[in-house]
Amino acid sequence: MSMPTPPGDQNPVGQAPTGQDPWGPRPAGPAPSYWPPYPIPVPQPRNGMGITALVLGLTGVVLGLTVLLFWLSWLPALLAVVFGFVGLSYARRGLATNKAMALAGVVLGGVGLLISAGVGVFFVVVAKEVADDGRAEAARVKAEAAAEEEKEKAEEKARHLSFGQSYTFENGLKVTVAKPQPFDPREPVFGHAEGNKAVEVTVTVVNTGTERLSVESGLPSVNDANGASTELVIDGSGRQKVLTGYVLPGKEAVGKYAFSLPSDAAGKAEVEFTPDAKRWANAYWSGPTS
């Protein structure tokens, strides 16, 4: 008695299809499905430090060569060196690909620092020289002013003389004022009050130069013992003579003048005289009148 064939799959597993050698190769079936491998993320190179170092290095060098901004160059140059070394460190560890750029930043940063230091030293030296020159000029001006003041004091002292002494002005006129002598006015008299003491002042001018010289202001002024100006006496004696005109080389001119001094201030007098009031300061002769 034969077994019936089960329903469903007519080719059970392990059995070759009808008409096929059970020991031969199996027929090709559908290709198995292919799944590609999951992509592994690749890290991006960290080149920012090298780029920054290069830019800062260039900035430091440019600022260092600028006269007005050199004092700012040290900061970007220093940062270029720091960032450059960080970039080189990244490149050595394979984290960056711009080693040359980082190295260039370090070099430029170093150059920028050297330029900044050099220009800074140069300006310090120049500033010191300018300051030294300024101090020297100030000292020279001060010394000249002191010398000029001493000269003026010496000249002022030299212009104060006693009666009978001589003073030579810069144009070569030597002036001597004699001690005032008593003067007896004759009528008519102008400028002499009753009770006053009249004195005669004699001024002698000698030309010590080689050219004729003029006496532009031949009238002296006289101050009494109290420092008050006295009045010029004019009388009818004709004894007074006014210095005026030219004095030839080697020649002298004599002027005679009378002044009225108050009786209470007649014991001493001071005479001021200059041959040219526009050019030469007065010289002074003083002393007792009796």
Cα–Cα distance between 102 and 18 in angstroms, integer?
A: 77
Give Cα 16 distance to the centre of its chain. Answer: 116
- What pLDDT, on the 0 to 100 scale, is given for residue 21? 58
- What pLDDT, on the 0 to 100 scale, is given for residue 36? 63
**CA neighbours closer than 13 Å in the CB half-sphere of residue 64:** 27
- What pLDDT, on the 0 to 100 scale, is given for residue 60? 85
Q: Is residue 168 classed as helix, strand or coil in its secondary structure?
A: strand
Whether the Cβ atoms of residue 115 and residue 65 lie closer than 8 Å to each other = yes
Cα–Cα distance between 222 and 282 in angstroms, integer?
A: 12
- What pLDDT, on the 0 to 100 scale, is given for residue 74? 85
- What pLDDT, on the 0 to 100 scale, is given for residue 194? 86
Cα–Cα distance between 184 and 245 in angstroms, integer?
A: 28
Residue partners of 85: CB distance under 8 A and separation at least 6: 102, 106
Cα–Cα distance between 98 and 84 in angstroms, integer?
A: 10
Residues with pLDDT less than 70, the chain: 1-43, 218
Whether the Cβ atoms of residue 260 and residue 192 lie closer than 8 Å to each other = yes
- What pLDDT, on the 0 to 100 scale, is given for residue 7? 53
Pairing of strands 173-177, 166-168: antiparallel
- What pLDDT, on the 0 to 100 scale, is given for residue 255? 93
- What pLDDT, on the 0 to 100 scale, is given for residue 1? 44
- What pLDDT, on the 0 to 100 scale, is given for residue 63? 85
* Tokens coding 181: 């002598």
- Set out the domains of the chain in order of their start, with CATH numbers: 48-128 (no CATH), 160-288 (2.60.40.1240)
